[in-house]
Amino acid sequence: MTHYKYNSADNHIDQRWIPANLWQDRVAEKFKNDAPKVTESEGSWVWEWEGRIFGGRDGGAADSPDNRQTLNQYYGKYADDLPDGALPPADPEIILKHMDMAGIWAYVGYASVRKWEIKDLALRHEVHRVYNDWMTELNTVHPDRLLMLPIMPVFDPEATLVELERVKKLGCKAVELPIADMAKEIWEECWDPFWSACEDGDITVCSHIGDSAGAPYPALERGVRMAYFSCVPFSAAKPISQLAYSGTLMRHPKLRYNYGECRAGWGPMLLQWMDRQAVERPGLFADTGLKEMPSEYVKRQVTITYEEDYVAGMMLQHPESGMADILMWGADYPHGQGVWPNADEVMEKTFAGVDPEIKRRVVFDRCLEMFHLQGPDASQIAA
């Protein structure tokens, strides 16, 4: 019997793991010519849509003749147990087997479709619809363990609310809100109906680090790209502080918001600095209408996830840092920088000197609470 030690609130279904025929089998006939498909280009299997080739940044397609090479690249010695043609992050049976290998019960999955540049608005909506249908189907396999996130079409605020209501009826518990592609900024009034609908439907809202659809990585020269990767986690600070200071969290006290893979060592500074602004600028703070310090709303309603962050672990030893209130772990499966399937060593270092009860909240309990999951039987939870 598997004994579970963790829940992973950040995992991925990159485009290389999506079935090649997903859209061609499901889109309306008028979209088939331009809809995503897998084709061969210069000896590689890539995705194509609207007559354009996409590979490179997020990889090509694993559902192709070179599938075994891709499996070996991503899964190393564990690839030997995978059949040819397998798409592990898109296969519920394999996902659950892999989570069991790591002592992980719950799995929250993000997709790279949010990064796809699709110029035709109607096609973009159709691509989202098909993908979201697929996500909700995967979630029915084991609803208390698999939580694949439908993607909200935030490039169209009114359509976002319509799509939310549609996937709610399909049983979803959480959705992804791609920050970089929002037609209006997260603090603006046009999103209030969406927040209300999420609150009323008990839907957790999740965002993830990443650029807008189609955005290229910075140049390779003079370390610019490395500087970019070094600063990516801090991009979460702006939307989180805007949710707090705009009064969104105050007006929607049951709203739950998670920002994925942004690490966390910077979190205490954000909480402290938001509150300091209230003290330094009392007139402006009064204009916000907030009844409490902004950090209090964040600590009650917001979480951030990390896979390996020893600074955050040190901060957990200081209650005043707020880390014990907002931190939630994710394995980042199956990415190379993640910590699957052997997280124990990372956990031992991260939580050295930390109260065991706080550790359990960060790596196990908080995910269940955030996504309203029951978790395994008590006899299956590791001591």
How do residues 264-318 score in pLDDT, each as one tens digit? 999 999 999 999 999 999 999 999 999 999 999 999 999 999 999 999 999 999 9
With a CB cutoff of 8 Å and minimum separation 6, the contacts of 332 are: 10, 11, 12, 261, 307, 338, 339, 340
Residue 26 pLDDT: 98
pLDDT greater than 60 at residue 333: yes
pLDDT greater than 60 at residue 56: no
Give the side-chain half-sphere CA count within 13 A for 136.
Answer: 19
Residue 188 pLDDT: 97
Pairwise pLDDT comparison (284 vs 336), residue with the higher score? 284
| Total number of residues shown for the chain | 383
Q: Which residues pair with 148 in a beta bridge?
A: 109
Q: Which CATH number fits domain 6-14+86-380: 3.40.50.2300, 3.20.20.140, 3.40.710.10, 3.30.390.30?
A: 3.20.20.140
pLDDT, tens digit, for every residue of 222-268? 999 999 999 999 999 999 999 999 999 999 999 999 999 999 999 99
Residue 62 pLDDT: 64
- Read off the pLDDT band of 68 (50, 70, 90): confident
Instruction: Specify the DSSP element, H or E, that contains 44.
Output: strand 44-49
pLDDT greater than 60 at residue 59: no
Residue bearing tokens 């029951």: 374
Instruction: Specify the DSSP element, H or E, that contains 306.
Output: strand 302-306
Which of the 8 DSSP states describes residue 78?
G
Which of the 8 DSSP states describes residue 147?
E
44-56 b/e with 16+ CB inside 10 Å = b? ebbbbbeeeebbe
Amino acid at position 98, single letter:
H
Tokens, residue 230: 């070094």
pLDDT, tens digit, for every residue of 360-377? 999 999 999 999 999 999
Percent over 90 (pLDDT), the chain: 85
Residue 65 pLDDT: 66
Least confident of 34-38, 40-44, 191-195, 311-315: 40-44
pLDDT greater than 90 at residue 215: no
Phi, psi of 21 (to 5 degrees): -100, 10
The residue-averaged pLDDT of 151-175 equals 96
pLDDT greater than 60 at residue 57: no
Pairwise pLDDT comparison (64 vs 24), residue with the higher score? 24
Residues 147, 139: contact at Cβ < 8 Å?
A: yes
Percent over 70 (pLDDT), the chain: 97
Q: Which long-range contacts (CB under 8 A, 24 or more apart) does 270-279 make?
A: 270/237, 270/240, 270/241, 271/295, 271/298, 271/299, 271/321, 271/322, 271/326, 274/241, 274/244, 274/245, 274/298
Tokens, residue 381: 């939870």
Instruction: Specify the DSSP element, H or E, that contains 329.
Output: strand 327-329
Residue 360 pLDDT: 97
How high does pLDDT run on average in the chain?
94
- Read off the pLDDT band of 67 (50, 70, 90): confident
Give the side-chain half-sphere CA count within 13 A for 74.
Answer: 23
Phi, psi of 216 (to 5 degrees): -80, 160
- Helices vs strands, H then E, count in the chain: 16, 11
Is beta strand 44-49 parallel, antiparallel or unpaired with respect to 37-41? antiparallel
Residue 213 pLDDT: 82
pLDDT greater than 70 at residue 69: yes
Least confident of 108-122, 170-184, 280-294: 108-122
The residue-averaged pLDDT of 113-141 equals 94
Residues 124, 118: contact at Cβ < 8 Å?
A: yes
Q: Which residues pair with 52 in a beta bridge?
A: 49
pLDDT greater than 70 at residue 63: no
- What global pTM score does this model have? 0.95
pLDDT greater than 70 at residue 95: yes
pLDDT greater than 80 at residue 58: no
- Read off the pLDDT band of 55 (50, 70, 90): low
